[in-house]
């Protein structure tokens, strides 16, 4: 391109750039105050584009800095309850079974140990001006060069192409190497003008760059682009990040959607969604989801993290301000209002939880108003429990705040209060139904009540699990009488990891949730 043409292009683009850059002032001031000894680098980055004469790049640099707070590299390690790091790396084992056995041995020696955030390297304190500038310039070059990107508005580019990170992985210059690996497909599609069509082609190529292995379930530190190129393996979060890196490098777009906890199985999941020129798109669900969130680089002013006070603690999965709720884009939803039986003094928020991994996990929040709380856009055909978050003596926990309930497929709410009379009966045969693994698509066969093992039947009552009988090793029958028809039950094998699924009783049979 001739110099004169280039100058005309910059002038034309600048004329359509956002004019209200001063809207970032307060956020930039706050970011600079949190940048510590790295402040000079952040200011250098801002000054570079302040003087560039390119209004869009100036706005983009200010938008990045205004929204950098909360972004960084999180090092996750296995630690004891008093914060001591334990020597455990899942990648030293051949498979998940070996790693789990080693982890269980450590848990016996160190009761209560868990993966925790050992270190957080804030981008504001570690990202250099050169690093940020390289990402910004390469993002703009791709957006302004490729034909399929011409229909992408600046605001959409800013949200889905400009960001330099996927989640909490180490900082990495991934744009140039990823774009080089995709040179052939870019050349072969030089006439393509539909960014979503091109994006699907790129996704198909990039997806195999990182294969899935469940061993990374026990490696919760997110990988950088370079680490994934070397290992060629990861968990769903890594794979989604890699696809995002590849697509952004050539001005295609995908969103990173996730559910913090599945509602009818264990674990969580993240996946990519190829977007059109307007930044719109959704994918199919691989499991039953109470909530689907979309990661954003921009801080969301309506998020719980943004509106809570400094002295208010919230559940882990709701502590970020960088996500939006897209549940209604995936499935029918319902708004529900719950009367709380328990409201701690001064509590402003309550939470709604799903049963996952043997316990109730908060997945959404609502404001408490006169002892009641409204939860918006909840997935249907799911069992829920309202909860409150308690912080005492430096420790945090979630406690039940009302009875569990089911939202059925039509959006109706059914309380599971276990009210007498107890006239229901049950022949218990199963502790876990057939469940499709969201990561692999493989059906995991149901877990049956088996000979040679003992089981205990629990019912949810008065804010906890209460025993309603046992199946002993010597028992020949597995029937229970005198149960509440509107109860919630859990049949747990003695000595298990407590991953059995909860269920209700309908016509004497188990209905799992």
The CATH number linked to 313 is 2.60.40
- 476 & 355 share domain: no
Cα–Cα distance, 110 to 121 (Å, whole number): 27
Closest CA to 327 of 407, 428, 437, 395: 407
Domain enclosing residue 381, as ranges:
305-415
Residues 409, 430 within the same domain? no
CA 488, 491, 495, 499 torsion-angle sign? negative
Pick the last residue of a domain from 373, 390, 415: 415
Q: Which of 415, 436, 468 marks a domain boundary?
A: 415
Domain match, 385 and 430 both? no
182 lies in some domain: yes
- Strand-pairing partners, residue 436, are 443
| Residues 28 and 149 grouped into a single domain | yes
Same-domain check for residues 403 and 350: yes
In a domain, 114, yes or no: no
Q: What confidence tens digit (pLDDT) does each residue in 210-242 have?
A: 999 999 999 999 999 999 999 999 999 999 999
Number of domains in the chain: 3
pLDDT tens series, the chain, 513 aa: 443 444 344 444 443 444 444 689 999 999 999 999 999 999 999 999 999 999 999 999 999 999 999 999 999 999 999 999 999 999 999 999 999 999 999 999 999 999 999 999 999 999 999 999 999 999 999 999 999 999 999 999 999 999 999 999 999 999 999 999 999 999 999 999 999 999 999 999 999 999 999 999 999 999 999 999 999 999 999 999 999 999 999 999 999 999 999 999 999 999 999 999 999 998 999 999 999 999 999 999 999 999 999 989 999 889 999 999 999 999 999 999 999 998 888 899 999 999 999 999 999 999 999 999 999 999 999 999 999 999 888 789 999 999 999 999 999 999 999 998 899 999 999 999 999 988 888 999 999 999 899 999 999 999 999 999 999 998 887 899 999 999 999 999 999 999 999 999 999 999 999
The pLDDT score that the predictor gives to residue 441 is 86
Examine the fold and report which residue of 359, 391, 415 is the final residue of a domain before the chain moves on: 415
Would residue 19 count as lying in a domain? yes
181 and 129 co-located in one domain: yes
280 occurs within a structural domain: no
Is residue 392 in a domain? yes
262 assigned to some structural domain: no
In a domain, 461, yes or no: yes
Is 165 found in the same domain as 217? yes
Both 404 and 470 in one domain: the answer is no
Q: Is 236 inside a domain boundary?
A: yes
Whose CA is closest to 463, among 399, 371, 512?
Answer: 399
Residues 192 and 134 in one domain: yes
Indicate if 130 and 175 belong to the same structural domain: yes
Q: What is the residue-wise DSSP string for 143-172? A: HHH-GGGTT--HHHHHHHTS---SSSPPP-
- The reported pTM is 0.90
- Statement to judge: residues 313 and 403 lie in one domain: yes
3-state secondary structure (DSSP) of residue 483 = strand
DSSP code of residue 239: H
* Same domain flag for 391 and 444: no
């Amino acid at each position: 391109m001739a110099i004169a043409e280039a100058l005309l292009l910059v002038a034309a683009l600048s004329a359509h750039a956002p004019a209200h850059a001063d809207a970032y002032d307060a956020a930039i001031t706050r970011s600079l105050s949190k940048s510590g000894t790295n402040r000079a680098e952040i200011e250098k980055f801002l000054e570079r584009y302040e003087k560039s004469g390119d209004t869009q790049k100036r706005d983009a640099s200010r938008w990045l800095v205004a929204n950098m707070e909360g972004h960084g590299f999180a090092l996750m390690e296995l630690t004891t309850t008093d914060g001591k790091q334990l020597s455990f790396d899942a990648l030293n084992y051949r498979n998940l079974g070996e790693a789990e056995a080693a982890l269980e041995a450590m848990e016996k020696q160190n009761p209560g140990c868990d993966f925790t955030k050992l270190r957080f390297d804030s981008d504001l304190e570690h990202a250099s001006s050169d690093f940020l500038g390289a990402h910004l310039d390469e993002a703009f070059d791709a957006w302004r060069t490729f034909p399929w990107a011409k229909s992408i508005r600046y605001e959409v580019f800013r949200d889905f192409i400009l960001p330099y990170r996927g989640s909490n992985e180490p900082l990495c210059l991934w744009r140039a190497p990823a774009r080089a690996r995709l040179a052939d497909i870019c050349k072969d599609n030089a006439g393509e003008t539909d960014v979503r069509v091109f994006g699907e082609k790129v996704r198909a190529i990039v997806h195999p760059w990182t294969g899935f292995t469940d061993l990374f379930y026990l490696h919760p530190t997110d990988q950088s682009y370079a680490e994934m190129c070397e290992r060629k393996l990861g968990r769903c979060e890594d794979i989604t990040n890699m696809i995002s890196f590849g697509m952004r490098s050539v001005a295609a777009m995908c969103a990173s959607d996730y559910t913090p906890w599945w509602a009818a199985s264990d674990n969580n999941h993240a996946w990519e969604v190829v977007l059109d020129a307007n930044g719109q798109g959704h994918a199919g669900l691989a499991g039953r989801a109470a909530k689907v969130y979309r990661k954003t680089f921009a801080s969301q002013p309506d998020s719980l993290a943004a509106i809570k006070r400094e002295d208010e603690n919230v559940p882990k999965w709701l502590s970020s301000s960088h996500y939006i709720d897209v549940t209604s884009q995936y499935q029918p939803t319902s708004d529900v209002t719950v009367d709380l039986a328990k409201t701690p003094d001064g509590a402003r928020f309550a939470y709604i939880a799903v049963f996952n991994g043997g316990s109730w996990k908060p997945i959404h929040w609502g404001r408490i108003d006169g002892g009641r709380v409204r939860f918006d856009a909840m997935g249907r055909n799911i069992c829920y429990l309202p909860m409150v978050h308690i912080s005492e003596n430096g420790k945090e926990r979630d406690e039940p705040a009302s009875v569990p309930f089911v939202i059925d497929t039509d959006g109706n709410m059914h309380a599971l209060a276990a009210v007498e009379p107890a006239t229901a009966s049950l022949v218990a045969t199963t502790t876990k139904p057939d469940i499709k693994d969201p990561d692999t698509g493989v059906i995991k066969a149901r877990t049956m009540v088996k000979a040679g093992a003992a089981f205990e039947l629990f019912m949810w009552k008065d804010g906890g699990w209460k025993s309603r009988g046992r199946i002993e090793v010597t028992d020949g029958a597995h029937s229970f009488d005198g149960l509440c028809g509107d109860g919630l039950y859990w049949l747990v094998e003695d000595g298990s990891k407590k991953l059995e699924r909860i269920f209700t009783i309908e016509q004497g049979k188990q209905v799992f949730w």
